[in-house]
Amino acid sequence: MKYKDGKPVSHPDKNSRVPMAMMFVVLCGLSFYLGGIFCSEKDKIETTDVAEVVSSPRESSVAPLQIKSAAFPECSSDYQDYTPCTDPRRWKRYGNHRLTFMERHCPPVFERKECLVPPPDGYKPPITWPKSRDQCWYRNVPYDWIDKQKSNQHWLRKEGEKFLFPGGGTMFPRGVGAYVDLMQDLIPEMKDGTIRSAIDTGCGVKFGGIYLLEVHRILRPGGFWVLSGPPVNYENRWRGWNTTVEEQKSDYEKLQELLTSMCFKLYDKKDDIAVWQKASDNSCYSKLTYPDAYPPKCDDSLEPDSAWYTPLRPCVVVPSPRIKKSVMESIPKWPERLHATPERILDVHGGSASAFKHDDSKWKIRAKHYKKLLPALGCEAFSTYPRTYDLLHLDGLFTAESHRCDMKYVLLEMDRILRPAGYAIIRESSYFADAISTIARGMRWSCRREDTEYGVEKERILICQKKLWHSSNQSSR
C-alpha cells in the first residue's frame, strides 16, 4: 500500500464491496420477510371477518343483492308446448341410431330462451278436483289429432268445449281400475307393501332389445316387468292391431327368447297382461360369458350406476353379488322399509349402516361429491310439458347453487312448468329475496314477503302467484 504525505491512501477494492453486497441482500430478505408476515396477518384478519359475516345470524351487514328490473318478452305462440331438453325442432341435430334424437338434449347457455312461454289461445283455469280426473278444457290442450287417434281406444273423447276421460283403452275395456285389480291378482307383492315403485315402459325387441336391457339394469333382483299390449294375447287381439297373427306370434316368441336370455322368467299371464320376473340370484348370468351369447355380460369396467347422458349399453348389467338384501324377498315391508338402511349403502366407499344412519355429515359429503360429478343437472330444464304444476317449492336453492345456476334461468323454468294462477313458495336468504322479487315481477308474478317460523332476519319466504295472460305475439319462431 502506497502512502502520500504520511497518510494511507484509500482505494476501494473488492474486499470492501463484499460486506456492502451482503448487507443489501440481508436488508432485502428482511423486507420480504416482514412484508410476508404483514400480508399473512392481513389475510388472517380478512378471513376471520368473512367467516364472521357468513356465520353470523345477522346478515344486515351484507347488502342484499340488487338487480335491474326488466320485463321478459313473450315467446311466440308456437312455443306454447316448448320443452327445452326434448324439443323436436332440435332433433335434426342428432342421429337416428337407437332413436338418440328423442333422448334428452338440453340447449347450451347461449341458446336458452329468455322469454315467457304463452298458454294456448283461449286457455282457461283448469277444472277443479275431483272433476279434473274425468275432464279438462279442450282449449287448454287444443289438439284434434288426439281425439281422432284415440277415439277408438276409449281413453278420451271430445264433447263440446271439453275432453272427457272415460278410462279404458284398447287393452283395458273395463277401465284402469279393473286393470290394476288384475295386476294385484297376478302379483301378490303389490298388496302386502313389498312393491312401492314401478316404471311404465313401452318397449320390446326393437334395436336388439336395447331398451329392455335398460329396464333390466334399473330393476331389482326379483323385480317384475309387466307388458300389457302387443304382442300379449295376440291370438285374440291381432285383428285390432292392423297386423297378421303370424307377425304377432313371431314378435312374442322373439320377446320371450330375449327375456329368457336376460334371466327373466314368465311369472304369470292372464288375458291381456303378461308378467316376467327378474332372477333373484346371479347363477343364471354365467351363461352370458359364452362367446356367442346375446346379450353379452357387461364389462366390469362399466359403471352400472351411471345413467345421465350415458349411451345405452348393449349388454346385461349383472347385479353386484355383495348386495343380497336388495332382492324383492329381502326388502322390509312398508312402512318399516321407510326407515330401513338400503344395503347398497355398504357398497359406497367408507359407508356403513350405522354411519349413514347417525351421521348425516356423511350424506352431505356424498351429495357434494355427486354435484361435482353432475355439475349441470340441477340447472337444467325439467323434462315435462309447460303448465304441469300447481305448486312449486324452493328451499335455499340460490344460496346453495348460485355459483352454478343462473337465477334468471331457474325462475324462467319455474314459470314455464307452473300453471297460470299457480303458486311458488320460495324460501331463501334475505340476500337473494329482493333479486328474486325483481325477476318475478318481470315474469308477471305477484309476490309477497313473509317471515319464517323462526322470525329471523337472515331468511325470508316469498309467496308468488303466476298470473294468467294470453299471448299478443302471433309471429313465427
pTM: 0.65
The pLDDT of residue 57 is above 60:
no
Q: Which of 179-193, 201-215, 421-435, 461-475 has the lowest mean pLDDT?
A: 201-215
Residue-level pLDDT at 47: 28
Angle CA 386–390–394, to nearest 5: 95
> Over the stretch 342-372, which tens digit does the pLDDT of each residue have?
776 666 666 666 766 666 566 667 666 656 6
Mapped onto helix, strand or coil, the DSSP state of residue 448 is strand
Side-chain half-sphere of 74: how many Cα atoms within 13 Å? 16
Q: Indicate the pLDDT class of residue 153, thresholds 50, 70 and 90.
A: low
> Over the stretch 242-281, which tens digit does the pLDDT of each residue have?
889 999 999 999 999 999 999 999 999 988 889 999 998 8
Please, are residues 53 and 61 in contact by the beta-carbon 8 Å criterion?
Answer: yes
> Over the stretch 16-46, which tens digit does the pLDDT of each residue have?
444 565 565 556 655 554 554 434 433 332 3
Residue-level pLDDT at 370: 58
Residue 33 or residue 433, greater confidence: 433
What distance lies between CA 406 and its chain's CA centroid? 17
The pLDDT of residue 475 is above 50:
no
Residue-level pLDDT at 434: 92
Q: Which of 137-141, 151-155, 213-217, 274-278 has the lowest mean pLDDT?
A: 151-155
Please, are residues 260 and 216 in contact by the beta-carbon 8 Å criterion?
Answer: no
Residue 176 or residue 213, greater confidence: 213
What rounded mean pLDDT belongs to the chain? 79
Residue-level pLDDT at 446: 96
Residue-level pLDDT at 172: 65
The pLDDT of residue 311 is above 90:
no
Share of the chain above pLDDT 70, in %: 72
Which residues partner with 159 through β-bridges? 162
Please state whether beta strands 445-450 and 459-466 pair in parallel, antiparallel, or not at all (unpaired). antiparallel
Can you tell me the mean pLDDT for 432-439?
94
> Over the stretch 78-116, which tens digit does the pLDDT of each residue have?
999 999 999 998 888 887 877 788 888 899 989 999 999
Q: How far apart are CA 142 and CA 385, in angstroms?
A: 14
Q: How far apart are CA 217 and CA 210, in angstroms?
A: 11
Domain boundaries defined on the chain: 65-84+359-477, 192-347
C-alpha cell at 331: 326388502
Please, are residues 125 and 137 in contact by the beta-carbon 8 Å criterion?
Answer: no
For domain 65-84+359-477, which CATH number applies: 1.10.3470, 2.60.40, 3.40.50, 3.30.420? 3.40.50
Number of residues that this document lists for the chain: 477
Residue-level pLDDT at 121: 94
The pLDDT of residue 186 is above 60:
yes
Q: Which of 74-78, 188-192, 224-228, 275-279 has the lowest mean pLDDT?
A: 188-192
Q: Which of 290-294, 330-334, 455-459 has the lowest mean pLDDT?
A: 330-334
Residue-level pLDDT at 163: 92
DSSP 17: H
Q: Indicate the pLDDT class of residue 288, thresholds 50, 70 and 90.
A: confident
Residue 327 or residue 255, greater confidence: 255
Residue-level pLDDT at 355: 66
Mapped onto helix, strand or coil, the DSSP state of residue 74 is strand
Peptide bond into 295 cis (omega under 30): yes
Residue-level pLDDT at 385: 93
Q: Indicate the pLDDT class of residue 14, thresholds 50, 70 and 90.
A: very low
Q: How far apart are CA 411 and CA 402, in angstroms?
A: 12
Residue-level pLDDT at 184: 84
What distance lies between CA 336 and its chain's CA centroid? 27
Can you tell me the mean pLDDT for 383-391?
93
Please, are residues 410 and 457 in contact by the beta-carbon 8 Å criterion?
Answer: no
Residue-level pLDDT at 412: 97
> Over the stretch 449-463, which tens digit does the pLDDT of each residue have?
998 888 888 899 999
Q: How far apart are CA 220 and CA 387, in angstroms?
A: 34
Burial of 98 (0-12, 13-18, 19+ CB in 10 A): middle
What residues contact 196, with CB distance under 8 A and at least 6 apart? 334, 337
